[in-house]
Amino acid sequence: MDTLLTADLAAKAPRFRRRSSTFVDAIHDLPEKESMAPAQLYSTESGRLFHSGRIMIATVGLPARGKTHTSVALARYLRWLGVKTRIFHLGDYRRATVGPGNEVPADYFFTNASASSVILRNKILKRCREDIYHFLDSENGQIAIYDAVNPLSAGRKQLAREFAKHNIQTLYIESQCTDEKIIEENVRNVKISSPDYRGWTDADAVADYLKRINARIPHFETMEEPELHYVKMINAGERLVVNNCAFGYLSQRIVFYLLNLHTKSRQTYFARAGTTSDQESSKVDAPLSAEGEDYARKMGDTLIKHREEERQKMIEMGGSDVSLRPLTIWTSTRRRTVETSHYLASKGYRVRQRSQMSQLNPGVCERMSERRIRAEYPQEVAKHEADPYHHRYPRAESYHDLAVRLEPIILELEREQNDLLIIAHESVLRVLYGYLMACSATDIPNLEFPRDEIIEIIPASYNNEAKRIHIPDLPPRMIAGSPEGLKIPVPPSGAVTPFSGVGTPSGSVTPLTEHVSIPLRRVTSNPGS
């Protein structure tokens, strides 16, 4: 869902999609069709959930305080639940209106701007608000997130009155920051991810952004209006102030999510568990095989080496010479995932076991071949081919069931401030990756995680990106995305999925640590892998 679509620049591109593969965050994508969200419990004719009306969420705060990060993170969570949400970045409208390669007037960001700059700002603001109304009134939208500075109390009051005339509740989220280290990190992240600074040198981008911040500071008014609904996040979630936000279940759910959110940067890594002597069973809690123990050592060494290399790169780019952020490891309670973490635990890393991260239950399909499943359950196979995400085989779980089960893990993932390595079954990694990269329910069952790769999620304020890290010297039989057996989803004979996946097609070689787009591939995924 991209606000650029409404600007003249993209007026002739109604099918525009920012994403080229599941390695690029889809939080700003335009959906090709309406469909159930990964953790959506039910649908309605209007498209609105929880007996809640329409809400306009407006951000408040100086630049580099985490407003865009909060907007994107909140939209990610709400869309995961099925709440029809769209982000309206005012900066997108500015870039689209000015056009590619053109600069805004020099005084555009200053309060005492020239008349021509004020007219341009009002034109951009009018277009953005018209699109918010259109989304909420004509597209059955439920939550519009208006990402802008909104610095003045009078302007915020006027905005709330304007939307109230259309029976739309207004909730403000202020990002306030007094910690200089957080501001410095936010400036660096914006410099890296913001479309404003593509092609800029690091020094020029930082200098320009700090100039914007200094222009706003003398004229900014923090939120103190008792009649308005607002949440004030102080120092990236260290403290929250909530005022007058009890106007429905959805508003309370938003506040609850913000209580779990922080905007400090940290990396998330996904890795498969090592192999066991009984790979085909989800019921037998088998220990790691000798190959599995060797994999655990190689995976741990590869991750440790990669983190140190990334720290050195940051120093070379002008970052401060600080120690690495602590790394926490999450596993399920299954023996194979716990034993895969033992090598890193022996080096002093903290390991936590999470019972909710158990693999998808295959039910009656346990240990059954695809041929036998098709013979004994032809109707179930047909249902599965029609909807591989929501369908469940007899006495089994669907991916939707797994996504609902993992919601507490998702909230704790948002709370985690250390770097995080998640060692889990492939089905769990699919769902958690799907959340962080805003994959659709159609994408998730097709994601693939070969054992010779660690997947790194690189967070940024505007969108996340994924990188794969090659684990060298593993035997070829361990590298396949999944062992042979039951295929979920079960494709028609000879079918190729239309979705690029996370990982490498069987038999190919993964280059060492790179951003990638994956070509079409056959799905060979087993719930017991």
- Residue owning tokens 């000015």: 98
Cα–Cα distance measured from residue 330 to residue 310, given in angstroms and rounded to the nearest whole number: 22
Rounded to 5°, angle at Cα 308 from 302 and 312: 140
CB atoms within 10 A of CB 266: 16
Q: Are 62 and 220 in contact (CB under 8 A)?
A: yes
> Which residues are paired to 194 by β-bridges?
none
* CA neighbor of 212 nearest in space, from 65, 57, 318, 96: 65
Residue 147 annotated to the active site:
yes
Burial class (CB in 10 A: 0-12, 13-18, 19+), 125: middle
Q: Per-residue b/e over 494-505, b at no fewer than 16 CB within 10 Å?
A: eeebebbbbbbb
Catalytic residue among 25, 29, 131, 147: 147
Q: Are 26 and 465 in contact (CB under 8 A)?
A: no
* CA neighbor of 189 nearest in space, from 259, 91, 263: 263
* CA neighbor of 421 nearest in space, from 350, 477, 371, 480: 350
DSSP 439: -
Strands (E), 244-400: 268-272, 327-331, 350-353
3-class SS letters over 354-419? CHHHCCCCCHHHCCCCHHHHHHHCHHHHHHHHHCCCCCCCCCCCCHHHHHHHCHHHHHHHHHCCCE
Cα–Cα distance measured from residue 358 to residue 512, given in angstroms and rounded to the nearest whole number: 30
3-class SS letters over 125-186? HHHHHHHHHHHHHHCCCCEEEEECCCCCHHHHHHHHHHHHCCCEEEEEEEEECCCHHHHHHH
Alpha-carbon distance values, 424 to 272, 331, 343, 408, 446 (Å): 6, 6, 16, 16, 17
DSSP 519: -
Residue 167 CA, distance from chain mean position:
31
Cα–Cα distance measured from residue 141 to residue 15, given in angstroms and rounded to the nearest whole number: 19
Cα–Cα distance measured from residue 71 to residue 218, given in angstroms and rounded to the nearest whole number: 24
Residue 523 CA, distance from chain mean position:
24
> Angle of helix 202-216 relative to helix 180-193, nearest 10 degrees?
120
Alpha-carbon distance values, 155 to 176, 215, 225 (Å): 18, 18, 12
Cβ within 8 Å of residue 441, ≥6 positions away: 35, 36, 37, 38, 389, 390, 399, 400
Catalytic annotation, residues? 147
